[in-house]
């Protein structure tokens, strides 16, 4: 502690200084600059004391300097004012608190000593009083902060979804509250045999990067964490290196030896859930509380660094006993948050498995599309990761979080779910007419064939009796002509029934056939006229492309709306709110030619555009579908490129799909999901 006695030159002659002059006495020719210098050079964080002898005339000026902005280093002082009786009126009342004495007569050496002693005594008493008040204020502030922390802990922990992030936060909050330098969290787990053990899950030390490998610990009284987990008691250990011999637990110093760290004071708290089970242990190490480490802005702001053994000896203190109950409350909240987190994860997993099982069930109705939604989901996830990794270009600002990728995955898994409401025969329709319809049509022509053949045979038999050979031969010729014609018509109908694209318009071929059969009257055994080609048969055979007529195509297209209706009914949590929209727009095209709404360009969400590429690619390369043969990978890419050129699918997204070889996660031969590249280009 620096103690100064400063005497202004102006009153030097009024004081008889003692013979033994203290080295702290400063005789100042310019009192203002002396005090200013002391204030500026007094850089120690400790408080200094000063007794100042001045003339009344100097009081105003000196008081202003001492109470001014430069006295930030806590110079505590008392002033002894000397002057004439007539000058006393210059003393303002508001200055009196700093004035220790007023002397109008000469100060003897003995009086000087007493005045100095008295002034320092006052300063010291005031300083102690001030320190006490400050300490009380700090304690009050600490308690208020603790209360606020406690209120906020539950709130903040309940919003964290990632389990690792949750543990990290629990430890940071605990360290913040107790001013601990380091800490670890252990979680109780159970093996298949039902034996419980502790798993070291997370640890953090300020200013150090200590190894953090997970390990397990038996729940018994030997280790400190094990003891706390067994007994359910808080352990507040002032010095881990001096644990009483009779204590049932012991401190394992191997970690300190390995890492050059010294675990000195420890506060170890059990985490209890709502049914009083211990689900883990929070272990806090080395409180630095007395060093005033209360932080204001974030956990990393602890300023006190423990580097040398000297630092550990000097700066580490036992944990304040008030932290025991406080940390029990924190641990209780932490336990609830961990349990909630586990439960939410469990529900999410169950929900996800349920969705996957439902999708598998729906897709198993049709072998041709089996596994389609899972492959689309994998491609979508990989695309989203690849986009998030872009640092330049159109997608540089798009970063999909894990939750958003999960949202896309759910949307992809369910994108075709609406197909469950659609007649399976439409999906399985291989030709333009269903098998039964085609057989029925051919049967009518076979019947016609026989009818004609029989008619001629009757005529020929009648003629044979009359033995007119030429007539018979003519009839035979006519019969054969007609029968050949029927066979040709049958062949053309069989060809027309194929879903492939023909050069000639099927309508023209059908009109030709209609002309050829015009006038033919065919009756069933009840005498009813048989319509050789019905309206329905004609409508189907007239299909220009594929095997579906416009009504069936419309019904298939309607799967998007049905899927949308289905996913809209699911009460998704807010983070999955985009799922219905992604599902609804997965068949929309950039040029507006898609369905169901025909929206175009930026109106189509990026996730739906990603899905469109994944959907088309998989539909092209996957196993034969009734209406098309499987296409090889390079042809599929060629078709996709054409689609991008024609502004139907997103060109930039397709570029990512191709350049980063996202398609490689689907095995070309087995159509199984191969491996995950996590958004990074997939190597050959
Ligand atoms: Fe679809
Ligand atoms: Fe699809």
pLDDT score, position 521: 86
pLDDT score, position 303: 66
* Higher-confidence position of 217 and 464: 217
CA–chain centroid gap for 269, Å, is 29
- Tokens standing for 65? 């300097």
Whole-angstrom distance, CA of residue 525 vs CA of residue 504: 37
What per-residue string of b and e applies to 266-288 under the rule 16 or more CB within 10 Å gives b?
bbbbbbbbeeeebbbbbbbbbbb
The CA 149 to ligand 1 mean position distance, Å, reads: 50
For a pLDDT cut of 70, what percent of the chain falls above it?
92
Domain termination residue (choose one: 547, 580, 598): 547
Of all helices (H) and strands (E), which one includes residue 213? Answer: none
Least confident of 371-385, 395-409, 517-531: 517-531
pLDDT score, position 485: 92
125 & 14 share domain: yes
pLDDT band at 29 (very low <50, low <70, confident <90, very high): very high
Instruction: Show the CA angle centred on residue 410, arms to residues 429 and 650, nearest 5°.
Output: 75
pLDDT score, position 336: 86
**Ligand nearest to the CA of residue 620, numbered in listed order:** 2
219 & 337 share domain: yes
The CA 502 to ligand 2 mean position distance, Å, reads: 27
Whole-angstrom distance, CA of residue 435 vs CA of residue 613: 33
For a pLDDT cut of 90, what percent of the chain falls above it?
44
The model's pTM: 0.64
The CA 605 to ligand 1 mean position distance, Å, reads: 16
172 & 118 share domain: no
Strands (E), 273-403: 278-287
CB 76 within 8 A of CB 127: yes
**Ligand nearest to the CA of residue 622, numbered in listed order:** 2
User: What's the pLDDT tens digit per position in 585-642?
Assistant: 999 999 999 999 999 999 999 999 999 999 999 998 886 565 566 788 999 999 999 9
Query: What CATH number is attached to the domain comprising 280?
Result: 3.30.450.40
Mean pLDDT across the chain? 86
Please identify every residue whose CB atom is under 5 Å from ligand 2, which is an ion. Answer: 416, 615
pLDDT band at 270 (very low <50, low <70, confident <90, very high): very high
pLDDT reading at 244 higher than 50: yes
User: What's the pLDDT tens digit per position in 18-27?
Assistant: 887 777 889 9
The CA 359 to ligand 1 mean position distance, Å, reads: 13
The SS3 of residue 173 is: helix
402 domain residue, yes or no:
yes
- How many other C-beta atoms are found inside a 10 Å radius of the C-beta of residue 578? 17
pLDDT score, position 440: 95
The CA 375 to ligand 2 mean position distance, Å, reads: 10
pLDDT band at 676 (very low <50, low <70, confident <90, very high): low
Whole-angstrom distance, CA of residue 120 vs CA of residue 114: 10
* Higher-confidence position of 623 and 580: 580
Q: Please state the φ and ψ torsions of residue 645, each to the nearest 5 degrees.
A: -60, -40
219 & 265 share domain: yes
What per-residue string of b and e applies to 97-133 under the rule 16 or more CB within 10 Å gives b?
ebbbbbbeeebeeeebeebbeebbeebeeeeeeeeee
For residue 596, cis peptide bond before it (omega within 30 degrees of 0): yes
pLDDT band at 289 (very low <50, low <70, confident <90, very high): low
Q: Which residues pair with 287 in a beta bridge?
A: 180, 317
pLDDT band at 300 (very low <50, low <70, confident <90, very high): very low
Residues spanned by the domain of 386: 366-426+555-665
The CA 139 to ligand 1 mean position distance, Å, reads: 65
658 & 616 share domain: yes
**Ligand nearest to the CA of residue 556, numbered in listed order:** 1
pLDDT score, position 392: 92
**Ligand nearest to the CA of residue 375, numbered in listed order:** 2
181 & 327 share domain: yes
pLDDT reading at 165 higher than 70: yes
Mean pLDDT, rounded, for 77-92:
84
CB 674 within 8 A of CB 667: yes
318 & 172 share domain: yes
Most confident of 285-289, 339-343, 591-595: 591-595
Mean pLDDT, rounded, for 165-182:
85
561 & 542 share domain: no
Q: How many residues does the chain have?
A: 684
407 & 495 share domain: no
User: What's the pLDDT tens digit per position in 126-148?
Assistant: 989 988 998 888 778 877 877 88
Number of folded domains that form the chain: 4
* Higher-confidence position of 579 and 70: 579
Whole-angstrom distance, CA of residue 62 vs CA of residue 41: 17
Mean pLDDT, rounded, for 283-309:
65
């Amino acid at each position: 502690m620096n103690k100064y006695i400063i005497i202004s030159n102006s009153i030097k002659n009024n004081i008889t200084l003692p013979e033994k002059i203290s080295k702290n006495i400063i005789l100042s020719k310019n009192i203002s600059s002396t005090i200013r210098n002391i204030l500026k050079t007094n850089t120690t964080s400790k408080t200094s004391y000063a007794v100042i002898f001045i003339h009344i005339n100097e009081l105003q000026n000196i008081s202003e300097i001492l109470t001014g902005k430069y006295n930030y280093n806590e110079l505590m002082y008392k002033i002894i004012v000397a002057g004439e009786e007539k000058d006393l009126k210059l003393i303002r009342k508001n200055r009196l608190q700093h004035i220790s004495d007023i002397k109008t007569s000469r100060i003897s050496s003995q009086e000087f000593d007493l005045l100095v002693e008295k002034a320092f005594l006052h300063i010291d008493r005031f300083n102690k009083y001030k320190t006490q008040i400050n300490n009380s204020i700090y304690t009050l502030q600490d308690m208020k902060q603790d209360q606020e922390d406690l209120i906020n802990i539950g709130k903040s922990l309940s919003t964290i979804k990632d389990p690792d992030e949750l543990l990290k936060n629990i430890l940071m909050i605990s360290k913040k509250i107790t001013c601990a330098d380091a800490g670890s969290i252990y979680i109780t787990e159970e093996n298949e045999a039902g034996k419980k053990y502790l798993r070291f899950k997370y640890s953090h030390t300020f200013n150090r990067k200590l190894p953090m490998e997970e390990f397990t610990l038996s729940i018994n009284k030997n280790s400190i964490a094990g003891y706390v987990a067994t007994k359910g008691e808080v352990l507040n250990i002032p010095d881990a290196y001096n644990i009483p011999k009779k204590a049932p637990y012991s401190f394992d110093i191997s970690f300190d030896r390995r890492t050059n760290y010294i675990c000195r004071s420890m506060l170890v708290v059990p985490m209890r859930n709502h049914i009083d089970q211990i689900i883990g242990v929070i272990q806090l190490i080395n409180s630095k509380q007395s060093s005033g480490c209360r932080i204001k802005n974030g956990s990393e702001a602890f300023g006190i660094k423990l580097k040398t053994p000297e630092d550990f000896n000097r700066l580490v203190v036992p944990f304040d006993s008030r932290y025991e109950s406080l940390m029990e409350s924190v641990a209780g909240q932490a336990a609830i948050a961990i349990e909630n987190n586990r439960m939410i994860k469990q529900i999410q997993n169950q929900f996800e498995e349920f969705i996957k099982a439902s999708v598998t069930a729906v897709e198993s109705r049709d072998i041709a599309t089996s596994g389609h939604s899972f492959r689309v989901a994998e491609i979508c996830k990989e695309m989203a990761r690849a986009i998030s990794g872009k640092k330049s270009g159109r997608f540089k600002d798009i970063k999909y979080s894990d939750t958003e990728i999960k949202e896309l995955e759910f949307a992809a898994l369910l994108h075709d779910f609406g197909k469950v409401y659609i007649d399976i025969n439409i999906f399985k329709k291989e030709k333009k007419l269903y098998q039964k319809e085609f057989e029925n049509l051919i049967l009518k022509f076979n019947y016609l064939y026989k009818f004609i053949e029989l008619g001629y045979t009757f005529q020929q038999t009648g003629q044979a009796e009359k033995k007119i050979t030429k007539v018979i031969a003519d009839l035979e010729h006519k019969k054969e002509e007609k029968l050949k014609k029927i066979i040709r018509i049958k062949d053309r109908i069989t060809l027309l029934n194929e879903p492939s694209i023909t050069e000639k318009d099927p309508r023209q071929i059908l009109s030709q056939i209609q002309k050829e059969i015009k006038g033919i009257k065919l009756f069933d055994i009840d005498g009813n006229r048989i319509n050789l080609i019905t309206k329905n048969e004609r409508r189907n055979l007239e299909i220009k492309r594929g095997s579906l007529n416009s009504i069936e195509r419309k019904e298939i297209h309607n799967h998007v709306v049905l899927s949308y209706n289905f996913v809209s009914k699911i009460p998704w949590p807010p983070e999955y709110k985009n799922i219905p929209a992604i599902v609804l727009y997965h068949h929309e095209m950039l040029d507006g030619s898609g369905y169901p709404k025909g929206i175009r360009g930026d109106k189509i969400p990026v996730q739906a555009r990603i899905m469109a590429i994944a959907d088309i690619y998989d539909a092209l390369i996957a196993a034969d579908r009734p209406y098309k043969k499987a296409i090889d990978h390079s042809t599929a890419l060629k078709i996709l490129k054409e689609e991008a050129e024609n502004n139907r699918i997103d060109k930039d997204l397709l570029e990512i799909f191709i350049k980063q070889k996202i398609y490689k996660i689907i095995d070309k031969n087995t159509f199984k999901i191969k491996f995950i590249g996590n958004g990074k280009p997939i190597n050959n």
